[in-house]
Amino acid sequence: MHLLPATGADHPVLAWTEGTALRPVRAALDAAGWAAFRAELGVRPAQAYPARQGQVYFPFRRIFTVARTGARAEENS
């Protein structure tokens, strides 16, 4: 669970996903296409993730991976 502050003009989940999952979408669209896509998408995060007491609770999964290579991996076999 991640707590996002509900400040600013944009919904915090929209702002979060613009910097992560939506980067490939933005790269594929021209400025007008991105503006239209964002306008269409803009109302949906507020419906799915309402602000409560100035914060938005945004659940997402994280995967952490640890790997070893070379001599250190052989020592631990």
- pLDDT(57) > 60: yes
Per-residue b or e along 55-64, where b marks 16 or more CB atoms closer than 10 Å to that residue's CB: ebebeeeeee
Confidence of residue 10 (pLDDT cuts 50, 70, 90): confident
**Local confidence band at 22 (pLDDT 50, 70, 90 cut-offs):** very high
Strand partners, 57: 3
Query: Whole-model pTM?
Result: 0.67
